[in-house]
Amino acid sequence: MTDQLNTAYELISSKLIGWLNAFLENLPNLVIAIIVLVVFYYISKYVSRLIGKLISKKVKQDSLVNIITKISGITIIAVGLFLALGIMNLSKTLETLIGAAGVSGLVIGLALQGTLSNTFAGIVLSFRKSIELGNWVETNGFSGEVVEISLKNFVVKEADNNLVLIPNKSILENPVKNYSLTTKMRIFLECGVGYESDLDEVEALTKQTIADTFDQINSPEEVEFYYTEYGGSSINYLCRFWIDSENALEKLKAKSKAIIEIKKAYDKKDINIPFPIRTLQFDNKLSLDHSKELEFSQS
């Protein structure tokens, strides 16, 4: 029993001595590796801060700026870790980590293919100057103000104050109409007047009314007016004019204001805006035999 204990003690002692010798031999490398990690840690903080300042000038989304700065910092620290492992002669461990990272990245990439595509699309949208926060856009069947561009969704606030979350991938793959890229919008106004109306007077009155209603229109000549057809109960026309506007809501307000003012002007001049009328005509030849009708109802 004593011999076995002595043997075990010698084995443990030799192991501990071997570990101590290995530690002392690798102590300089360990110190250098720790210094490398510390240096790369502070470098990552400085570089992340610098990248954050540069990106914030082009990207207005704080969430994206934070994500990009964190990714850059983690990348620098990972480089420092690999260098530290190489200094400590842990090349096999380094190769194992790289291999595991590659396999894990492949698996995660396949599993999160849709999420990653939305993430990259969100980054691309953040750097596009044609779409910015506050713009009024129309895309994928929705129209509203852009309030957020995250790494996953493109958020639009519609005119009814509801928020619509659209995947970033759909924004890149579908057309986007941005009303805020231009400072002017054209209003299309269709109406009709009665056949008894003086068409020249209607045209002149409509142009003058539009010019008096909107300050950005300097003269009636800037208003376009075209008669389009002989309708069922009216002679229809199309009126077009430009206004200063950057979103669809202002366009709707301008069109509503134009309709109100034109109606007032027409009422003052007794110009009729007819509506469809259906006339039912009964000839005198149509007669009813009350006796037959009573007979039919009794049967």
Give the model confidence (pLDDT) of 165-197 as tens digits: 998 888 888 888 888 777 788 899 999 999 999
Residues of CATH 2.30.30.60 domain(s) within the chain? 130-180
The rounded mean pLDDT for the chain is 79
Range name among 53-57, 189-193, 259-263, 264-268 with the lowest pLDDT average: 53-57
**Rounded distance between C-alpha atoms, residue 295 and residue 288, angstroms:** 13
Distances in Å between the Cα of 159 and the Cα atoms of 98, 130, 154, 183, 193 are 51, 21, 16, 19, 32
Chain centroid, CA 15 distance in Å: 64
Secondary structure in 3-state letters for 2-29? HHHHHHHHHHHHHHHHHHHHHHHHHHHH
- Answer whether residue 38 shows pLDDT above 50: yes
pLDDT-derived band at 199 (thresholds 50, 70, 90) equals very high
Segment 227-260, tens digit of pLDDT: 999 988 899 999 999 988 777 778 888 999 999 9
pLDDT at res. 132: 80
* Number of neighbours of residue 254 by Cβ within 10 angstroms: 22
Residues of CATH 1.10.287.1260 domain(s) within the chain? 2-111
Q: Which CATH class is domain 130-180?
A: mainly beta
- CATH of 2-111 among 3.90.550.10, 3.30.2080.10, 1.10.3720.10, 1.10.287.1260: 1.10.287.1260
- 269 and 193 Cβ atoms separated by less than 8 Å: no
pLDDT at res. 111: 46
Secondary structure in 3-state letters for 140-153? CCEEEEEEEECCCE
* Of 58 and 258, more confident: 258
CA angle 117-120-125, nearest 5°?
120
**Rounded distance between C-alpha atoms, residue 160 and residue 62, angstroms:** 26
Residues of CATH 3.30.70.100 domain(s) within the chain? 182-268
- Answer whether residue 291 shows pLDDT above 90: no
Architecture of domain 182-268: 2-Layer Sandwich (3.30)
pLDDT at res. 235: 94
Segment 131-140, tens digit of pLDDT: 888 888 888 8
Q: Phi, psi at residue 236, to the nearest 5°? A: -90, 150
What is the average per-residue pLDDT within 261-268? 94
Q: Phi, psi at residue 224, to the nearest 5°? A: -90, 135
* Of 266 and 75, more confident: 266
